């Protein structure tokens, strides 16, 4: 058991996986288990979206009720009047366009020109006395006389003076109307305040339930969008971290595999070089030893031959010395023998 525990403790972070019994004890998996799962978060977001849809439907129904009902609010009355007036203006504009097209077609058919016969079917004529002012020249005339120009200038001066008079009258009427409206609104507001009610101007300014609900809806939608964006950012950061960890694991595995392959290749190369060097060294050493042994054998043989020659020479010298000694002894002992032989002969 101690050996197994030591192995589990000594494991690397890249060993977290299939065959590691202590993989769930790593801090990465503990943090992941502590967090809310993606399914629960999606369920919460879906519930929030459904609630917002329901609130949106309710708000729309309330707005439709406010629009359909005849309220005493002057702002609603003004809006209804503005909508009806815009519809009437659009209808009048369509009628004016129809009338101008009819008048232009009638004018082309009754008083055609050489220039505008073919162009009338494609585009509207550039000169039209209804829509164009007197400053625009007629294309049928290549130039104007001095009389025409004077007449046009006098007509323009008369029109400008008349327009100035109308504008002055309208400005005076507007001032009087604004003064009357302000005085009347102040009086009505004071009377309504004395009675204890809310004046129309203030009632229009006070936000209604529909306005408050719209503001709440906007605020909630903005908050939801910000929350979703933050959640996406957090989720993207977590995904980036996971991807970085996976890339690091893959890089570590690839690095280990590359190191193994490279180390194996280097070891094989080293073994090949060592084998070659060992062979070279063995051949050199063996040759050196063989030559050395051969030289020693030759030296031994020479020494043995020299020793044999010395021994033979010593033997010869010994023999010569012995023969010389023997000859000396014989020469020295010869008279003694003669005397002894004579003595022996005399005694006989």
Q: Closest by alpha carbon to 58, among 207, 209, 225?
A: 209
pTM of structure:
0.23
- Please give the full DSSP string across 19-71, using - where no structure is assigned: T-TTSTTSHHHHHHHHSPPHHHHHHHHHHHHHHHHHHHHHHHHHHHHHHHS--
Is residue 117 within 8 Å of 107, Cβ to Cβ? no
Please determine, for residue 41, whether its predicted confidence score (pLDDT) is greater than 60.
yes
How sure is the predictor about 115, in pLDDT bands with cuts at 50, 70 and 90? very low
Q: So what's the pLDDT on residue 8? A: 44
How sure is the predictor about 134, in pLDDT bands with cuts at 50, 70 and 90? very low
Q: So what's the pLDDT on residue 342? A: 54
Measure the CA–CA gap between 124 and 139, rounded to whole angstroms: 14
Q: So what's the pLDDT on residue 340? A: 58
pLDDT in tens, 54-82: 888 888 888 777 767 666 666 677 777 78
116 CB neighbour count, 10 Å cutoff: 19
Please determine, for residue 333, whether its predicted confidence score (pLDDT) is greater than 60.
yes
CA 166 to chain centre: 67
Measure the CA–CA gap between 125 and 106, rounded to whole angstroms: 13
- Domain locations in the chain? 31-68, 209-307
Q: So what's the pLDDT on residue 235? A: 86
Q: Could you give the dihedral angle defined by the CA atoms of residues 138, 144, 148 and 153, in that order, rounded to the nearest 10 degrees?
A: 80
Measure the CA–CA gap between 315 and 169, rounded to whole angstroms: 175
């Amino acid at each position: 058991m101690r050996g197994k525990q030591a192995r589990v403790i000594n494991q690397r972070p890249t060993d977290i996986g299939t065959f590691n019994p202590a993989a769930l004890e790593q801090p990465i998996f503990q943090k992941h288990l502590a967090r809310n799962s993606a399914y629960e978060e999606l369920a919460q977001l879906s519930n929030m979206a459904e609630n917002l849809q329901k609130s949106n439907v309710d708000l729309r129904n309330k707005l439709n009720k406010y629009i359909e009902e005849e309220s005493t609010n002057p702002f609603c009355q003004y809006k209804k009047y503005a909508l009806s007036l815009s519809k009437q203006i659009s209808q009048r504009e369509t009628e004016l366009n129809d009338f101008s097209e009819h008048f232009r077609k009638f004018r082309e058919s009754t008083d055609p020109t050489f220039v505008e016969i073919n162009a009338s079917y494609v585009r509207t004529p550039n000169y039209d006395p209804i829509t164009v002012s007197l400053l625009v020249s007629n294309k049928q005339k290549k130039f104007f006389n001095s009389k025409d120009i004077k007449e046009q200038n006098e007509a323009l001066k008369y029109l400008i003076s008349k327009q100035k008079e109308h504008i002055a009258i309208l400005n005076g009427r507007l001032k009087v109307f604004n003064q009357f409206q302000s005085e009347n609104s102040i009086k009505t507001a004071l009377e309504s305040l004395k009675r204890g009610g809310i004046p129309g101007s203030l009632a229009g300014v006070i936000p209604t339930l529909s306005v408050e609900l719209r503001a709440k809806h906007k605020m909630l939608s903005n908050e939801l969008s910000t929350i979703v964006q933050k959640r996406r950012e957090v989720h993207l950061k977590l995904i980036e971290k996971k991807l970085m960890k996976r890339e690091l694991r893959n890089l570590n595995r690839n690095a280990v595999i590359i190191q193994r392959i490279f180390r194996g290749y280097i070891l094989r190369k080293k073994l090949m070089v060592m084998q070659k060097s060992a062979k070279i060294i063995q051949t050199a050493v063996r040759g050196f030893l063989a030559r050395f042994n051969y030289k020693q054998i030759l030296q031994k043989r020479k020494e043995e031959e020299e020793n044999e020659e010395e021994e033979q020479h010593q033997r010869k010298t010994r023999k010569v010395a012995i023969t010389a000694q023997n000859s000396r002894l014989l020469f020295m002992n010869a008279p003694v023998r003669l005397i002894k032989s004579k003595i022996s002969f005399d005694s006989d």
